[in-house]
Copies of this chain bind each other. A is one copy, B any other.
């Protein structure tokens, strides 16, 4: 080793040791990657035990062997002793006392066992790895993320929720991100671009080759929640006038078909959609038959502008695995596969649930506190307005309350029973509307039924509450007033529970989102008004 060589090693060593001490893992990995394996080996030998092991954690797996060649056999054996990753990749056995998978991964990171964690994430199925990443707090998430190569990162990105996906994608260097993106299916790539801030998305788009960019641009031109936004362009199409035997020979040339190919599309000379040929039909047909004889020409293609909600409905109702997407002239553009529809259904139901609690778009449990606070504050603010409305109603009756403080004690009961009964009706109606089963044609009937239920339950609970109120405050009049108020509020809740979603839909607002706030406002106001108003009339 010459003196200058030793000199550079010395400087690099210092830089690496410093980065290692300051926990700049990314820098350590970058420095190591730029060094000759022999140098890395001599660096490892120069370090003491703990530091050596810490540094070893940052050597890329594919360079391990090269570095090991330069090490003394003893040291090699010592470093190579890689603990197995099974406890990290294993699902939990649901044992009460046992540590959970998330806890085990976090412990391993804490202990600096980066190689082990990285290996575990590479062995897991990408969907599982994505779930686990989302369960980690941001700092640990980034640590793991740095250890994954581009191909694996791409596969995991597909399975992440939009918010986390964008955040992790932005943590990657541009060339890493491009490398990861190149491995993605087009529809997943479109999702990724849409999840990114627009300038990062544009950069990514520019980095693709011309043909792919053209395809991406045409896919990006459709709304995200339409058939065009869901489709992929990896379909296989054949002509109707060829024979089954030729199709089989053609497919054999392809060697492997795109994932989820259950049918090939049949088109005419101008690429206009003619029908589909199911693989299950293809393999059971005689080779000499023409495609036109065995194809399924009744199978309806999806219009490229069909809203994704209707796409999902169609897949569910018709139990289909994939469907062709065509433009208004009937030209075949792509296909949608059931796996994407399944994701859509799951995301939709997740979003509805979150929206109902005023958690708009909060897909990342560990989003920064400030971001989350700001998002949630909106909903709290809306609620405050409605709460003050209810308070204002109560304020109208201050004189009554001063004379009869029992009213203040009992009034939340009236409001709360109305709220529960109303939300039962509301939920039933919102679900019915989502299924297309509630509309003008049967709304009146449903109203009749809901009023019937409100009467029965209203009388029942009015009597119960009245009995309890009489027992508590010893006033028959108070009992009568609260009974009347509860019955009134339950009736009003039934009517509002039905009308509010119908009205909201008419003005184009999602009833699942705004319905329950408005409903609670109504039941609070009516509850307080009925109870305190009746009390003012009859009890003073």
Which A residues are within 8 Å of any B CB, using their own CB? Answer: 92, 96, 99-106, 125, 127-128, 131-132, 134-137, 159, 248, 251-252, 254-257, 259-262, 279-286, 315-319, 321, 338-339, 341-343, 345-346, 349-350, 352-354, 356-359, 362, 365-366, 369-370, 372-373, 376-377, 379-381, 383-384, 386-388, 390-391, 394-395, 398, 401-402, 405-406, 408-413, 415-417, 420-421, 423-424, 426-428, 431-432, 435-442, 445-446, 449, 452-453, 456-457, 460-461, 464-465, 468, 472, 506, 524
Residues in B neighbouring A359, C-beta threshold 8 A: 424, 427-428
Q: How far is the CB of A415 from chain B (nearest CB, A)?
A: 7
A126 to B149, CA, bound (A): 48
A262 to B282, CA, bound (A): 12
Cβ of A427 and Cβ of B316 under 8 Å apart? no
Copies of this chain per assembly: 2
Instruction: Write 29 A-B pairs (CB below 8 A) sorted by A numbering.
Output: A96-B506, A100-B439, A103-B439, A103-B441, A104-B441, A125-B317, A127-B317, A131-B317, A131-B436, A132-B437, A135-B438, A252-B283, A257-B284, A260-B319, A261-B280, A262-B279, A338-B342, A357-B424, A365-B449, A373-B453, A373-B456, A377-B460, A379-B420, A380-B421, A384-B461, A387-B417, A394-B409, A401-B409, A408-B411
Q: Which single residue of chain B is at the shortest CB-CB distance from A516? A: B357
Cβ of B262 and Cβ of A100 under 8 Å apart? no
6 tightest Cβ-Cβ pairs between the two chains A and B: A103-B441, A349-B349, A102-B441, A127-B317, A408-B408, A357-B427
Cβ of B316 and Cβ of A442 under 8 Å apart? no
A365 to B439, CA, bound (A): 13
A59 to B153, CA, bound (A): 66
Cβ of B319 and Cβ of A259 under 8 Å apart? yes
Q: A409 is contacted by which of B252, B395, B524 (Cβ under 8 Å)?
A: B395
Q: Which single residue of chain B is at the shortest CB-CB distance from A343? A: B316
Residues in B neighbouring A391, C-beta threshold 8 A: 409-410, 412-413
User: 12 more A-B contacts (CB under 8 A) besides A398-B409, A402-B405?
Assistant: A252-B284, A252-B286, A257-B280, A338-B339, A341-B342, A358-B424, A376-B453, A377-B457, A384-B465, A387-B413, A398-B406, A401-B405
Residues in B neighbouring A456, C-beta threshold 8 A: 369-370, 373
Cβ of A280 and Cβ of B279 under 8 Å apart? yes
A256, A431, A432 — most chain B CB neighbours (10 Å): A431
Cβ of B346 and Cβ of A316 under 8 Å apart? yes
A435 to B99, CA, bound (A): 18
Residues in B neighbouring A137, C-beta threshold 8 A: 442, 445
Residues in B neighbouring A132, C-beta threshold 8 A: 437
Q: Which single residue of chain B is at the shortest CB-CB distance from A283? A: B251
Residues in B neighbouring A381, C-beta threshold 8 A: 461
Cβ of B442 and Cβ of A384 under 8 Å apart? no
